[in-house]
Structure 1
Amino acid sequence: MHDTLITALAAGLPAEALITDPDVVAAHSRDMAGFTEVGTAAAVVRPRTVEQVQHVMRTASGLRVPVVPQGARTGLSGGASAVDGCVLLSLERMDRVLEIDPVDRVAVVEPGVVNAVLSKAVGEHGLCYPPDPSSWEQCTVGGNIATGAGGLCCVKYGVTAEYVLGLDVVLADGRLLTTGRRTAKGVAGYDLTRLFVGSEGTLGVVVKAVLALRPAPRPQLALVAEFPSTGGAGRAVSAIMASGHVPSLLELMDGTTVRAVNAMAKMGLPETTEALLLAAFDSEDPAADLAAVGALCEAAGATDVVPASDPEESEMLLQARRLSLTALERVKPSMLIDDVCVPRGRLAELLDGVAAIARRYDLVIGVCAHAGDGNAHPVVCFDGTDEAEAGRARESFDAIMELGLSLGGTITGEHGVGTLKREWLARELGPTGLEVQRGIKAVLDPLGLLNPGKVL
């Protein structure tokens, strides 16, 4: 079967697009998730055209070979990892920004366009593409669409799904499907565009996207508020959102993360801080908004509130948040990054629950969160060479997801399901929800060849 597959693929691809070198194939066989099984792929294909993608899917369908679509492989849930005998379909070389339309405020792009490259391109027209995952300098738009990615600015500007107007998708049998629109309005038929956003390559292969753009925002001003308890920080978040403020950023770091950043960057943050809240505004009068939010933080128990006076000072204040994951990486050789989202009003309960889980499993778990969304990223730090500690890490990861569900939340706010959270998805959806989603999968991919073993 292997030789037949390679011969059939080669018949419709340029030589440089088909890779069978075992070392190169192995290097493409996983994303950045830990604790996920990785199979042995038959080949990597790196197409440059829609027709080449269609050829891959027709060949795979005819030979009953699984296909795993990939972007930059920066995902954290195992969604881009190989399964045995599969074709790894890397879309990185389909990386053109095809059109930027300042009148209709849309960009038309191929899936391999890097998020930061798109941001720079539209910025030259006085526009912005708001979704900004932390890996925005490496991750691709296609991967962002596949996982429904978020980012720091989502509290004001929303997530990827809100900016995808239309898609071109190659289906499992090689047919090309066009969904959505490029107009400001449009409600014709079922919203198939939203169906593909967040589907993690299990329903089709995105080969083109029409994306909504926004006018470039004003420079933002930020403040930092220190709290002696997570409860106080949680109360502040609730007060800020309930009062009608619209921050462009509202982030939180727990005490474990603050101390890790201190140890790495010597930033001089108080070691007694149990929660650090960062808020920013890009409004007409950001200084006034910061003053109002600072007062709310003090009323919630903040021991110190430090507002920035200009955008440069704001960037300095936000540097601690940007260093969070890098600092936690230094605590232990391995880490698992969770991604639970709860109602904003229950964020403090989540933080306190994670702290209790860390004590229960004798582990270091730091939490950084998009507080304005209730989306927390508990980071489990452990030694992967210590079998017992690695086992406790995995158990703590599951305990955090269980905690998130018990608080009325979801097992993933922006990282996706992949293989890492597949069993938990069934618990969140329930039997009827799972049955409906599997029915949709059966219609679009009746042979089950697209990214098998992921999500459902």
Structure 2
Amino acid sequence: MEKYREDFARDGSAGKPIAVVRAEDAAQVQHAVRWAAEHRVPVVPRGAGTGLSGGSSAVDGGITISLDRMRAIEIDPACQVAIVEPGALNIEVKRAAAELGLWYPPDPSSYEICSIGGNLATNAGGLCCVKYGVTTDYVLGMDVVLADGSLVRLGGKQIKDVAGLSLLKLFIGSEGTLGVITRAILRLIPAQTAGATLVASFATMKAASEAVVAIRSTVRASMLELMDSTSINAVEDWRSHGLDRTIGALLIAQSDAPGEACGAEIATMLACCEEAGALEAFTTTEADEAELFVSARRNAFHALEARGGVLFEDVGVPVPLLPDLVDGVATIATRAGVEIAVVAHAGDGNTHPIIVYDATDPDSEARARSAFDEVMALAISLGGTITGEHGVGRAKKGALPAQLGPDVLALTRRVKDALDPLGILNPGAVL
């Protein structure tokens, strides 16, 4: 039992629950939350435990409600929706939709192992979000167990619905602090068409970022992803993908426009890269060849974790300021004397500076944590955000007041207090 509780204790932070409830349906979630409310015991909802900001870390003296057994998926092809329980993995929803010629676009790098409940809790994005949007753009309905154990049903299969306040959106990205999601109705779209891929190398991340800014101002790419030299070499050390270790940055861009429009978009993106000083660029319509580069980008997190202790950043800025952000991160790395790799959903201005340090060296960890705070402060100074898709969790809550300001923070607390007056839902996360 002790090891069992430890297994459910963390997604990157500390804490040990007094009990774990592995719910199999909404009624069991309600029963657990009602008990917790009666005894004023903290409740932490947990999906697959793949979060990177400590959002589902257990609380000492609390209970963890694991939703990993709630995996049902039903596809309604007529309405083009998926009715999904929170424990279902993102990839499982994709596969079920694909069997009927449909597609669920949100695709975090961890799409093979992350749960829909976690995606909803953090409003996850992914590699395709530059064109197709993030999780909230695909949620039509939701069932939520509130802090008193009652269940509310929000939205439905209808595409348009403006009856009453937009409560549905309130729970998306709330990180389990307002309720426990037990079911979601997700909008699907026709399967993505085969397209073309552009891969371009640059001497610096700033030059690659300038190419991204130019592309975003001219075409609507279906993917715009960046990797810096550190992440490229980490991936090659971890598992060779055939990437050039000598370059400063790699841009992976795609178009899925139909027919001749695809070629035109790729040509425009290529011109933008050349004007920004690309060292080399090539295009392909071969899916297997393109997937080699896309998988390298997806594997960056795993590769960097193999190098030592890591702190995962998730900062974003308005796209035109992306070059300033990557330059600033490089300056912070030099000043702090730490290694910061940068990968990015560049088309959205959403970057993942990943700080690598020696976890056995207290001084190295202290410098890493100082750099972590500096990166968030940099993003805020550029009019950006401390998190684009990973959530605030426990790792970033200290920087939230600086971004939101006192009035918005107070309003956020009023909403939290109204829905969770006892403060039992995921205490210590976000606020």
Structure 2 letter corresponding to 1:77: S
Q: What residue in structure 1 maps to residue 172 of structure 2?
A: 197
Alignment of 1:4-153 (within 5 A): 21-31=1-11, 33=12, 36=13, 38-97=14-73, 99-153=74-128
2:430 matched to which residue of 1? 455
SS of 1:218's partner is: coil
TM-score by length of 2: 0.97
Q: Secondary structure at the match of 2:79?
A: coil
Gaps of 5+ in 2: none
1:296 to 253, 263, 272: 272
CA distance in 2: counterparts of 1:344 and 1:196, whole angstroms: 27
Alpha-carbon deviations, 1:61-88, whole Å to 9, x = none? Answer: 1111111110001001111111121010
Please state whether the residue corresponding to 2:59 is helix, strand or coil.
coil
The answer to which of 106-115 and 261-270 deviates more is: 261-270
Evaluate the alpha carbon distance shift between residue 323 and residue 58 of structure 1 in structure 2; reply closer, same or farther with a 3 A threshold.
closer
For 1:449 and 1:419, locate their aligned partners in 2 and report how far apart those are by CA, in whole Å: 15
The alpha-carbon deviation at position 268 of structure 1 amounts to: 5.0
2:391 corresponds to 1:416: yes
In the alignment, which residue of structure 2 is the partner of 1:441?
Answer: 416
- Which of 244, 247, 256 is 1:282 aligned to? 256
- Asked if 2 retains the 8 angstrom alpha-carbon contact of 1:94 and 1:110, the reply is yes
Q: C-alpha displacement at 1:266, in angstroms?
A: 4.5
Matched, 1:306 2:282: yes
Distance 1:88 1:429 in 2: 29
Q: Distance in 1 between matches of 2:70 and 2:171?
A: 19
Structure 1 residues 304 and 442: alpha-carbon distance in aligned structure 2, compared to 1, 3 A threshold: same
| Structure-2 residue corresponding to 1:158 | 133
Say if 1:67 and 1:319 are closer, same or farther in 2 by CA, change over 3 A: closer
Alignment partner, residue 389 of structure 1: 364
Question: How far apart, in 1, do the equivalents of 2:194 and 2:285 lie?
Answer: 12
Q: Distance in 2 between matches of 1:26 and 1:415?
A: 23
SS in structure 1 at match of 2:230:
helix
Task: Letter of the 1:247 partner, please give it.
Answer: A
Which residue pairs with 1:375 in the alignment? 350
Whether 1:329 and 2:305 are equivalent positions in the alignment is yes
Give the Cα separation in 1 of the matches to 2:241 and 2:149: 54
Give 1:349 shift.
1.0
What is the count of residue pairs matched by the alignment? 429
Deviations 1:361-388 (A, max 9, x none): 1111110000001000001111111111
1:22 CA displacement: 1.4
Radius of gyration: which is bigger? 1
Pick closer, same or farther for the CA change 1:164–1:202 going to 2, 3 Å: same
Q: Give the alignment partner of residue 313 of structure 2, picking from 319, 330, 338.
A: 338
Compare 203-212 and 278-287 and name the one that shifted more: 278-287
Q: 1:222 aligns to what?
A: 197
Q: Distance in 1 between matches of 2:183 and 2:424?
A: 21
What is the match of residue 255 of structure 1? 229
Alpha-carbon distance, 1:114 to partner? 0.9
Deviation at 1:283, TM superposition (A): 1.3
Contact residue 195 and residue 285 of structure 2 kept, 8 A: no
Secondary structure, in 3 states, of the residue corresponding to 1:340? coil
2:220 — aligned with what?
246
Structure 1 residue 267 displacement after superposition = 4.7
Query: Identity, % of aligned pairs?
Result: 51
Mapped partners of 1:176, 1:135: distance in 2: 30
Q: Provide, for residues 221-252 of structure 1, a one-character-per-residue CA deviation record: whole Å limited to 9, x for no partner.
A: 21111112222212211111111x11111001
Contact 2:120 2:136 in 1 (8 A): yes
Q: Aligned-pair distance for 1:258? A: 2.2
- Alpha-carbon distance in 1 for matches of 2:26, 2:59: 24
Report the AA paired with residue 176 of structure 1.
Answer: L
TM-score (normalised: structure 1): 0.92
Quote the offset at 1:327 in angstroms.
2.8
SS in 1 for 2:182: strand
CA contact (8 A) 1:167 1:179 kept: yes
CA distance in 1, matches of 2:248, 2:280: 12
| Equivalent AA in structure 1 for residue 150 of structure 2 | R
Q: Which amino acid aligns with 2:308?
A: P
SS at match of 1:341: coil
Cα RMSD (Å) of the superposition?
1.3
> Is there any run of 5+ residues in structure 1 with no aligned partner, and where?
1-20
